Chains A and B, each alone.
Chain A
Amino acid sequence: MLGLHTSGGYPSSGYNNQPTAWNNGSYANYTSYQYPNYTSDTSSAYSSVSAPATYQQQYKQWPEYYSQTEVTCAPGTEHLSAASNSNHGSSLPTSLPPPPPLPPPSLTPTWRPETSSSELPSMQPGGAASGAHDNYWNQPAPSFQTHLAAPTQPIYQNSLDSKTSYENFQELKTAPQGLNSQYPVVHQVSQNYQSTLPTVPSFDARRVSKLQIPTNPRIASNAALGIAKTEKDSYAANSAPRPAYISVSVQKPNDKPTMLPKSLRGYVERAFGRYKDDDAKRAACEAYMKDIITEARADGTLYTRDWDSEPLFTVPDSLSISKAYNKSPVRRSKSRWEPLAEEKMLEKPVSASNEIGKYGSWDRKTFSGYSATKDNSLSSFRFSGPQQRTPSKSAQRPMKRQRIVNGTGLTNNDDDASSDSDKEQSLTAYYSGAMALANNPEEKKRRESRSKRFDRGQGHRPDINYFKPKNAGPANLYTRRASALMLSKSFDDSANQAVEDIDWDALTVKGTCQEIEKRFLRLTSAPDPSTVRPEDVLEKALLMVQNSQKNYLYKCDQLKSIRQDITVQRIRNQLTVKVYETHARLAMEVGDLAEYNQCQSQLQILYSEGIEGCLMEFAAYNLLCVILHSNNKKDLLTSMSRLTPEAKEDDAVKHALAVRAAVTSGNYVTFFRLYKSAPNLNTCLMDLYVEKMRYKAAVCMSKSYRPTVPISYIAQILGFSNAADENGETELSGLDECLEWLKAHGASLITDNTGEMQLDAKASSSTLYMPEPEDAVAHGDSSLAVNDFLARTT
């Protein structure tokens, strides 16, 4: 554990200003301290939420530890999320173990407590902390105290404001955490320690962010924006929070993405990508996104959902207007958030914040494990780790944008930061009126119904989610949540339905084309009914093809177009089977195995659906095909074990099984006998294997026969005289054919004293070879050679 802070780089990296050094020290103690106490700590941390007394006590006991939490608390207080996050940013990385020195198991427990404690600050403010805080603030950063009173308020607002963009975005990722735990922090702090807190951590943060610039060019451009400003006004004008904000927002993408599936990040990016130019919508989009993700996390589909195919929502235009209006009340919403915070405190045990906090930390743990190894120094660490792993474009963009909005728009951030309190006062006065209106139940109701109307009109849920938090205020939080849940549920349902229960019948094309002949053309778009033939026309077309005298190429083309029309219209009946059977047979006759296989696999599906056809015939073909051409033992076994007893009585199937036996045993005599007696088109499939079988037989004979074998015998057993039933001439031609074949395969022939041609077995045994098939073509499938095709089929 101590290996942690040696994590080096940090102290030596040069910014040993007070706060940092101090932080560093406390981290050291903190982490090392935590480890052994893992379990007790978590629980105590937890209890401290509800029982401030404990906290106090503990604080005294473990000053180091709590001073650390203090820090986290401090930033947390002024800039909302910036608070707890900058804190993660700084505390986590520092304490990140460069793992090597640690025994592996220690990692796990360490991080868990860590996370729970970093969560802690957000809960503490409840009242516990105030005493302790005094101590703290007096020690390390007395000089800063002076500025505090003024800045706090604006800063707070500022952060609230910016929340809509970058903060929300972050919430997207942490989901409920941002919602529940951070608000209370804000509220509490501003109530209690407004005067004290802000500067120190932010100062620290600024330094950090400054340091970051050189280390990571990608960020640099981004951060420069913030820093330039920082330097100019906030630094000088002591509006500290700026840099903290920057460092947070930069760090955010680092911190969170680890816990989100990549596809989700893509989804978020897509969602934001659409509103690049419209900040109002973007903000709405964020609010909405947050809910989606919260919801996904809640029902556990965060990692399982297919974000890539998740439909994007749309944010209606009208929103931007209402947003402008809504935005203002939020800005000064301190009074508004108060009740919420209290409510949250009470509700804490039930709320999801705990859970999420924990989860966040679980994940962070991972993250830290990863990145710590990468880099030791804090500054580079922040960026080098996750930053590079996740293209944080989407994460950064909102931040940037927000800045622009703030710079040009309603209230300037820097104005806030530099505590233009007069302006603030007047705004407050103005907005409090608006707030009162907003919180007025009637108004609330009206808006709700309006938003509902809207929702109905648009059929999208984002609007509600967006409106409610802004308009209806905290009191509505739970209703809002509930409705979001419900909506998202229905959303999910409809998405699911899209996959399974779409009414395909309603979408199926009904053809109107009356042409019998149609060329095949692969569809590249939805089929046009006017070019699709209805079933009765297709039947005629099939008949036409069957009776056609044209060659296979033409028939194949016609059959493919028929198959296409059938598929498009989802016709699955005897006609379908007939078409495929016809095509399969034609393909077999010309040896077009590719086309045959397509038909065969379709036929198997069709037969298994119970549609009648020549089941046995094709079962036999299937067997033959597996045996002779694919030689896949597993397939063969499955085909064989699937045969029903009736099937085994079928002649065609019997024949196929016999062929199989002959092939596996290499029994050429049986094979060629079966070849001659093949039913249906079994011969055609066997044809394709004949060459191989003959060659095997020749090799076998030349090895086992001595001294010679008469050619006439070879011709007879190797099936060369298959046309012999007519007359003697064909018999002779069979013999000649055999002679040719043997010569072509390198056999050595002699003539014996009776004048009969003999195979010289011994001589041939070393000279036999398998010649390259004559009709071989470059692409390896002779049946694709058009000329050959035409020659064979016409």
Chain B
Amino acid sequence: MAYLSMGESHRRITDYLNRFADAINYQDGDSLARLFSVSSDSPSLLSLADALNVFQDANRLIKQSEKFSQFGEVVAPFFRSLQCYRLGNLVDAYGAFEKASNAFIQEFRNWESGWALEALYVIAYEIRVLAERADRELASNGKSPEKLKGAGSFLMKVFGVLAGKGPKRVGALYVTCQLFKIYFKLGTVNLCRSVIRSIETARIFDFEEFPIRDKVTYMYYTGRLEVLNENFPAADQKLSYALTHCCLSKEANIRMILKYLIPVKLSIGILPKKQLLENYDLVEYNNIVEALKRGDLRLLRSALQENEDQYVVILFLRSGVYLVLEKLELQVYQRLLKKIYIIQKQKDPSKAHQVKLEVIVKALKWLEIEMDLDEVECIVAILIYKNLMKGYFAHKSKVVVLSKQDPFPKLNGKPVAS
């Protein structure tokens, strides 16, 4: 750190305080927001942090003038947070920031209009980001990371401030999204439910009135929740909403949405174009799509088989789509049987609708998959039961008798029956 004179430090601190006071007096939410964004590493905040480290008695500056002292409960801990942040002490930085935020929320609660929402957004964001970093620090010191959890309950409080009627409600969705991020990170997704309920059941506020940015994020996360619940139509609807409303220039976001939307679409029988997968660097789905097209069970299994080099599967497991992809197996069987049926039809159209079990076993053997008659019989029974195949199975003769009309119905956007 370059040498910083006391005078200069003093000037920087008072400058900040003045800007802070002005932002509040003129209800300038944007400026106020910038003054809070610790983790943005903005030059002005960094230089303020340096100044604070030189000029240790900033609290005196705050208290000395009434103009500033009224913000003392917010600014003093904020300064401490900034100082700690600059020194790399993220745990304390988080603690002080939460204190400052708490004081800010107290004030925000009393302001009737939502002029300070921008600032509140920044606070909600900073709380989460600082908590994440603080947890990383705690974990590396062998302590239990608990700050993110604390950030979750703090944001829940913020949500309570916003969720009521009035002009502040538009901010509720942003906080909700930050909460989602925390809950997904912590793996406590069940906590999302209460927030979702209060967003979706409130009649006083139309969902469409929220900012589009928040709507997209919200739909993305609720879509992911539906993926976990294996409620594919709902997941499809939410993720599609997110995709269609997402800003086209935000490729990373589109990719994140597609990461979940593609498996969902696959499971309701809609395959993506190869170009899409390549454009958004989702090549991990290539083999799966290919397997579905060819009825290649081996390819599907190998794509989902965890080998040492296949970090992809670990990714699938982490993101939670593994279970969805695994269920595609039945569709692959369906495709395989359909192929057999088509070949038979080419050979002898009159007998095409009777597929012998042995033939299927043989076909699987060609795919290097060893299955005995009982197993294949079971698969066939399931295919018929789940309406992926029309017809019946005759046990005595070990023959699948296919319906003459549309023996392999397409899913056409409907999920496989359970």
Contact = CB atoms under 8 A, between A and B. Distances in A.
Interface of A: 38-39, 42-43, 45-46, 99, 104-105, 107-109, 112, 116, 300, 303-304, 349-352, 354-355, 357-359, 361-362, 365-366, 369, 633-634, 636-638, 640-641, 645, 648, 661, 664-670, 699-701, 703-710, 713, 717
Contact of A633 (B99, B228, B396): B228
B327 A665 contact: yes
30 contacts: A43-B67, A99-B112, A105-B112, A107-B111, A107-B112, A108-B111, A116-B66, A300-B73, A300-B99, A303-B103, A350-B60, A351-B63, A352-B63, A354-B65, A355-B72, A358-B66, A361-B70, A362-B110, A366-B110, A633-B229, A633-B323, A637-B318, A641-B314, A665-B330, A666-B382, A667-B379, A704-B380, A705-B381, A706-B393, A708-B395
Given A300-B103, A706-B394, A640 B317 contact: yes
A437 B189 CA distance: 70
A645 B113 contact: no
Contact of A670 (B69, B70, B330, B378): B378
B320 A355 contact: no
Nearest to A112: B70
Contacts of B327: 664-665
Top 3 A-B residue pairs of the complex, sorted by shortest distance between their CB atoms: A104-B112, A704-B384, A358-B70
Given A38-B25, A708-B395, A637 B379 contact: no
B113 A105 contact: yes
A42 B165 CA distance: 33
A104 B168 CA distance: 12
Contact of A704 (B60, B66, B381): B381
A456 B261 CA distance: 69
Contacts of A641: 314, 317-318
Given A105-B27, A350-B63, A362-B107, A664 B323 contact: yes
Nearest to B21: A39
Contacts of B111: 105, 107-108
Given A636-B323, A665-B326, A669-B377, 10 more contacts: A104-B167, A108-B111, A116-B66, A300-B77, A300-B103, A361-B70, A665-B382, A706-B393, A710-B395, A717-B374
B361 to A, nearest CB: 13
Contacts of A366: 109-110
Contacts of A703: 384-385
B326 A359 contact: no
B76 interface: yes
Interface string B256-289: 0000000000000000000000000000000000
A42 B66 contact: yes
Nearest to A665: B329
Given A105-B27, A116-B66, A704 B393 contact: yes
A278 B348 CA distance: 108
Contacts of B228: 633-634
A600 B180 CA distance: 29
Contact of A700 (B106, B189, B382, B392): B382
Contact of B25 (A104, A109, A640, A645): A109
Interface string B296-315: 00000000001010000010
A111 to B, nearest CB: 9
A358 B385 contact: no
A270 to B, nearest CB: 24
A710 B395 CA distance: 8
Contacts of A108: 27, 110-112
B47 to A, nearest CB: 25
B137 interface: no
B291 to A, nearest CB: 16
Contacts of A369: 110, 112
B73 A705 contact: no
Most buried by B among A112, A637, A638: A637
A432 B90 CA distance: 57
A645 B305 CA distance: 12
B374 A633 contact: no
Interface of B: 25, 27, 60, 62-67, 69-70, 72-73, 76-77, 99, 102-103, 106-107, 109-113, 115, 167, 187, 189-190, 228-230, 306, 308, 314, 317-318, 320, 322-323, 326-327, 329-330, 374-375, 377-385, 392-396, 401
Nearest to B304: A661
B308 A645 contact: yes
Contacts of A717: 374, 378
A695 to B, nearest CB: 13
B63 A637 contact: no
A667 B103 CA distance: 58
B64 A46 contact: no
Contacts of B230: 633
Nearest to A671: B378
Nearest to B389: A704
A634 B187 contact: yes
Nearest to B313: A641
Contacts of B25: 38-39, 109
Nearest to B320: A637
A38 B111 CA distance: 16
Contact of A354 (B63, B187, B384): B63
Contacts of B380: 704
Given A669-B375, A706-B394, A661 B326 contact: yes
Contacts of B63: 349-352, 354-355
Contacts of B394: 705-707
A705 B395 contact: yes
A46 B62 CA distance: 14
Nearest to B70: A358
A42 B70 CA distance: 11
Most buried by A among B63, B374, B393: B63
A634 B392 contact: no
Contacts of A349: 63-65
B359 to A, nearest CB: 18
Contacts of A666: 382
A42 B322 contact: no
A669 B378 contact: yes
A349 B61 CA distance: 9
A37 to B, nearest CB: 12
Contact of B76 (A300, A350, A645, A710): A300
Given A304-B99, A366-B110, A661-B326, A705 B392 contact: yes
Contact of A359 (B70, B187, B379, B385): B70
Given A109-B25, A704-B381, A359 B66 contact: no
Contacts of A358: 66, 69-70, 72
A735 to B, nearest CB: 16
Contacts of B106: 303
B382 A667 contact: yes
Given A703-B384, A704-B385, A706-B392, A303 B102 contact: yes
B395 A667 contact: no
Nearest to A710: B395
A300 B113 CA distance: 26
A598 B375 CA distance: 37
A726 to B, nearest CB: 23
Contact of B73 (A112, A354, A359): A359
Given A669-B374, A706-B393, A634 B320 contact: yes
B79 to A, nearest CB: 11
Contacts of B187: 634, 638
A755 to B, nearest CB: 15
A667 B322 contact: no
Nearest to B76: A300
B22 to A, nearest CB: 9
A87 to B, nearest CB: 18
Contacts of B110: 108, 362, 365-366, 369
A703 B401 CA distance: 13
Contacts of B381: 700-701, 704-705
Contacts of A99: 112
Contacts of A707: 394
A708 B229 CA distance: 36
